[in-house]
Amino acid sequence: MSATAILFPGQGSQTPDMRERVQRLRPDLLTAAIELVGEDPFARVEEGTRYAQPAIFCASLAGFDELGRPAAQYMAGHSLGELGALAAAGALDEHDALALVVLRGSLMQRAGELAGDGGMLALLGRGAAERADELARAHGLAVANDNSPQQVVLSGASEHLPAAAAAAEALGLRALRLPVTGAFHSPMMASARAQFAAALERVTLRQPRCTVLSAVTAEPFDDIRRRLAEALVSPVRWREVMLALHARGVQRFVEVGPGRVLSALVRRTLADVELVGA
């Protein structure tokens, strides 16, 4: 029997209409986000993680509501989206999750500034997943996002990215420098981990209503606090999450938005599955 998984996106999925959706469907989250950030995060969503993460989180939960909070056997989130998935599954109170998202975005932005000149490089094309580890090791970088067989992102010191890009292109891949403010999901985020872990200890966790997969392990969450803290410095194993869901019988993937970034990654990873978006 086929199953359904609901997917929650991470940073980079913002769309121009997402504030309107939040204002219409979840004005409580919009008010709370403005209070926690100190200003409207939607107005500065392109200026870094401090603003983008709470805006995308609110828009994702609004998309979940717009779909009628559909029942599903599984949920998963890409990076930031893990907090959306856990909130939607009832493991976290939504407003507690928003406060964690605001802190996470601020800590990640600050970690990028403290670590210095970090950046990220997307590897695109056939063989990206197979070549990513060797390219990362050879150039002192970390695999940050294993998104699909044709898309992997490396993370680390900016000075190492040009050589890695040249080596990737010599292997027949395309290499694209991403417009981000730090080396996310790499050891350069280490300064954010302790404070985020401490904040996680202060929130109440409940049993989720469905199985939520961790993008750190590509398995169901075991220790939620530990895995969310590890996620700051660990790769997003999204391709493996999709394969694991499919192996568990998932044939229908529902992306709550904003955007359709995750649907595109599912399409590049799995054949003959149904994709639904808010």
List the structure tokens of 80. Answer: 């930031």
Q: Are residues 83 and 228 in contact, defined by beta-carbon separation less than 8 angstroms?
A: yes
Number of H helices, E strands in the chain: 11, 9
185 is catalytic: yes
Secondary structure (3-state) at 126: coil
Q: Which of 13, 60, 79, 214 is catalytic?
A: 79
Single-letter residue type at 16:
P
Could you tell me the two tokens for 89? 């599954």
**Alpha carbon of 264 to those of 62, 109, 189, 239: distances in Å?**
21, 27, 27, 12
Q: Which of 185, 186, 214, 263 is catalytic?
A: 185
- Residue 79 a catalytic site member: yes
Report how far residue 254's alpha carbon sits from residue 3's, in angstroms, rounded to the nearest whole number: 11
Q: What amino acid positions are annotated as catalytic residues?
A: 79, 185
